[in-house]
Amino acid sequence: MIDFAVLNGLVLIFIPGKSTSLYILFKSISFLAAVINSYYLNKYWVFREQISTKSKFGHFFVVSVVGFFLNVATASLVFHVLSGTYPNQTQLIANAGAIVGTGVVLFWNFVGYKFFVFKS
């Protein structure tokens, strides 16, 4: 939700038309905001990890960086392809890209966090 809220706010304010380069920047910012939130939610709520170590955050960061590139690349590709077909639907296309990117990375992040970061 944080990813989508930040992305939609940035797109609504700054992208009047088709601009893949601005979309990549805004998708990057929104994804990074979501990752920071995700670390704390995964650590304390999903995996109930009480011990904080620098190596855990390092592992989390590595998994998240790979997820970041997968998310932004997938979302940007969808945005670029659809913006040529539907040039006046920027907000809708931005969200379609974000949904596809989120779907691709959801599985990657969960597996990485469960077996690499917060493993028992």
SS (H, E, C) the chain: CHHHHHHHHHHHHHCCCCCHHHHHHHHHHHHHHHHHHHHHHHHHHHCCCCCCCHHHHHHHHHHHHHHHHHHHHHHHHHHHHHHHHCCCCHHHHHHHHHHHHHHHHHHHHHHHHHHHHCCC
* 53-71 pLDDT per residue, tens: 667 778 888 998 899 899 8
Report which of 118, 109, 114 is spatially closest to residue 51, judged by C-alpha positions: 118
- Identity of the amino acid at 76: S
Residue 52's pLDDT band (cuts 50, 70, 90): low
pLDDT of residue 63: 92
Domain total for the chain?
1
pTM above the 0.75 mark? no
Average predicted confidence (pLDDT) for the chain: 84
* 89-112 pLDDT per residue, tens: 888 998 899 999 999 998 898 899
Cβ atoms within 10 Å of 44's Cβ, excluding its own: 12
What percentage of the chain reaches a pLDDT higher than 70? Answer: 91
Residue 72 has pLDDT above 70, yes or no: yes
Residue 25 has pLDDT above 70, yes or no: yes
- Lookup: tokens for 95: 């969200």
pLDDT of residue 11: 84
Average pLDDT value for residue range 25-34 = 87
- Lookup: tokens for 108: 């990657």
Residue 35's pLDDT band (cuts 50, 70, 90): confident
The parent domain of residue 39 ranges over: 2-117
